[in-house]
Structure 1
Amino acid sequence: MIFTTNHTYAILRFSQARASIMSDLDEMHAFAAVMTSGSLTHSARHLGVSKSTLSRRIQQLETRLGQPLMRRQSNRLLPTEAGSVFHDYCLRILDLADQGQRALEELREEISGELTLQVHDALGRSWIAGAIDDFMQRHPGVHVSLMIRENLPEHFAPQSVVIWFGDTGETGLRQETLALLSRGLYAHPDYLARHGHPAHPHELESHDWIDLLGEAEHGLVLRHPRQGQVDVRPPGSRLRVNRLVLQSDAIARGQGLGVMPNWMAERREAAHPGQLERCLDDWQVSPSPVSLLYAHGHQPRKVSALLEFLRSACPAEWQLGTRRRAS
């Protein structure tokens, strides 16, 4: 019985609070409407209430604030000094209330419909292919078009999200860094047995090189915690590839050295032990970002759900502490 009484009291208090908030908003809507038109008659017609109701709401607002907000001049209502000051705050409050209402309405929306997810080739099979199954199981009403890409799309469709590996440049989209993936130098143990282990970055110039997208053509920067920075220009690569999987295959076949994300190299080594060996462990190569790209502005519920899922589904090996949200 006590529980029932307390529960009923809580419901009554909530209902009273909600009624008070709605009453306040009605008063502010009335004030904002009259500020726009300068007329009780026009504003009452616009809001769908009687002229007397509109006048009473403004009077109640003035009583609550303790100052007159409007004065009559000829056939128009004009703001007092207090009314001019309060008007800006009134509009902000009404806008926030509208945003809150839209957010609550979105929570009632079923997450369903078409989504397009465009993913860099390096992250397709290694991450997204498995992760997206989990997303679709959580949201059975969603249909996803998963597209693997080697280049950024020139045209960005609505309801679309892009996951990219590496630099993106200026795209006109909102960019959010999911992770900064550390990278290292790798070779097959047999290659190192034939050509020797490089002891310093300058020795890389005498090794065969497996280049990804011509990245090393303009030089490679390596940093050491004590020895500082060294700029290296590897020899022209006899094999240039445009996909990370082709590069790792070539390195694993013993064709030369190359720069790979440590995460990807460790996964390959776990699946195929003895294929890759890291070189110059103490020297750091600049990391590669993994980015989310999506349209600016308010996102539909299904897009927001996908973005939140992708943020939480990053592999633990990506050093999630490096993640930062878009500003």
Structure 2
Amino acid sequence: MFDLKELEAFVSVMKSQSLTESARMLDLPKSTMSRRIRQLESELGQALLRRESNKLIPTEAGKLFLHYAQEILDLAGNGRSALDELKQDVSGKLVVNCHDALLRPWFGPLMLEFMNTFPGLEVSLKTQIAPPGLEQKDGLCLWLGKEPETGMNCEHIGTLHQSVYASPAYLQQHEPPAHPSDLACHRWIGLGSEEQDGVEFWHLNEGRSKPSLANSRLKVDRLFMKVDAIVNGGGLGLLPDWSVSRRESHHPGGLVKCLPEWQGPSQGIYLLYPHGSLTRRAQVFLTYIRQSLPQEWLG
């Protein structure tokens, strides 16, 4: 294992080409600098420097070893910085964007728990409506849907499965669908542009089906508006099973699953964060999120 002080002396002399100048910059006696370089050369079994006139010139071995010596020093410096950050309080401002479907039933309460754990933290929480784009490179984001093309790290952390739901009142007035093809006869409530190309369903025995949803009279851009429209008898629509389960635990009987043996398209859940070094508060937040994921997302 190389001595970091010996590597530091060698790299400094390689840059200055002067033992005297390097000793001055490192605030060390010239004799100490010389001894450290001799010890490094002894460990390597090769001369790294040779004297020419009043300068120290690198040998071929010295030129080759310089790159590795600098990498070792950089790695050690990064390690020290990382350990120093662990000593720091988790404080300052944290900017987080979250898809609205995750905000009310899970992320909102979780964010309050996180802030109570770290009282020095200031959070700016925003609803993410449109998919993050290539221009979005800052802050942290929780997204639900297709994997976005973005200029950030995109980590898949879970999946939500979807089914068709209706209200009991709607099903009392309309014949429940027995097959996805029957959905063409029902009022369909859509969400944004996600279903403009149709919806594909899957059955264990019957395979895939992609029915017509021509009777889509209402399209909304927020999940809670879609839920409200379905609960109030506006028609049928796709909803995440997990979201319905959370709602039913507080408001039982408002939604009924239709076509229970048919699985709708799944939605991915993604954690987005910038490339490169992250602040201590961002690192702790990401770890907190990963450790708090609902078990249903991971199945």
TM-score of the superposed pair, with normalisation by structure 2: 0.91
**Paired amino acid for 1:66:** G
Of 175, 184, 198, 2:177 maps to 198
Alignment of 1:3-22 (within 5 A): none
Of 213, 218, 238, 1:259 maps to 238
2:124 is equivalent to residue 145 of structure 1: yes
| In 2: Cα distance, 1:153 partner to 1:220 partner | 23
Out of 38-47 and 137-146, give the one that drifted further: 38-47
Out of 106-115 and 79-88, give the one that drifted further: 79-88
Match of 1:212 in 2: 191
Of 63, 69, 72, 1:90 maps to 69
Match of 2:8 in 1: 29
2:272 is equivalent to residue 293 of structure 1: yes
CA drift of 1:60 comes to: 0.9
**Paired amino acid for 1:282:** E
Aligned CA-pair RMSD: 2.2
SS in 2 for 1:217: coil
| In 2: Cα distance, 1:225 partner to 1:79 partner | 70
SS in 1 for 2:260: coil
| In 1: Cα distance, 2:199 partner to 2:231 partner | 21
**Paired amino acid for 2:257:** R
Out of 219-228 and 134-143, give the one that drifted further: 219-228
CA drift of 1:153 comes to: 6.8
SS in 1 for 2:3: helix
2:247 is equivalent to residue 250 of structure 1: no
Identity across the alignment (%): 44
Contact 1:207 1:235 in 2 (8 A): no
- Structure 1 gap segments, 5+ residues each: 1-20, 322-327
**Paired amino acid for 1:39:** S
Q: In structure 2, do the counterparts of structure 1 residues 85 and 188 end up closer, same or farther at CA, with 3 Å as the change threshold?
A: same
CA drift of 1:97 comes to: 0.4
| In 1: Cα distance, 2:137 partner to 2:211 partner | 41
Of 46, 51, 65, 1:67 maps to 46
Q: In structure 2, do the counterparts of structure 1 residues 73 and 229 end up closer, same or farther at CA, with 3 Å as the change threshold?
A: farther
| In 1: Cα distance, 2:137 partner to 2:60 partner | 48
Match of 1:283 in 2: 262
Over residues 167-212 of structure 1, what are the superposed CA-to-partner deviations in whole Å (9 max), with x where a residue is unaligned? 3532212222221111111112332343223222222222210111
| In 2: Cα distance, 1:35 partner to 1:74 partner | 16
Match of 1:17 in 2: none
Contact 1:217 1:233 in 2 (8 A): no
| In 1: Cα distance, 2:58 partner to 2:212 partner | 71
Of 273, 276, 283, 2:252 maps to 273
Alignment of 1:204-243 (within 5 A): 204-243=183-222
Over residues 7-26 of structure 1, what are the superposed CA-to-partner deviations in whole Å (9 max), with x where a residue is unaligned? xxxxxxxxxxxxxx8x8101
| In 2: Cα distance, 1:95 partner to 1:212 partner | 50
2:56 is equivalent to residue 77 of structure 1: yes
| In 2: Cα distance, 1:226 partner to 1:31 partner | 70
Out of 206-215 and 34-43, give the one that drifted further: 34-43
Match of 2:286 in 1: 307
CA drift of 1:277 comes to: 1.5
| In 1: Cα distance, 2:148 partner to 2:251 partner | 35
SS in 1 for 2:210: strand
Contact 1:216 1:233 in 2 (8 A): no
Q: In structure 2, do the counterparts of structure 1 residues 91 and 226 end up closer, same or farther at CA, with 3 Å as the change threshold?
A: farther
TM-score of the superposed pair, with normalisation by structure 1: 0.83
Contact 2:170 2:233 in 1 (8 A): yes
Count of residue pairs brought into register by the alignment: 298
Tell me which protein shows more helix as a share of its residues.
1
Match of 1:6 in 2: none
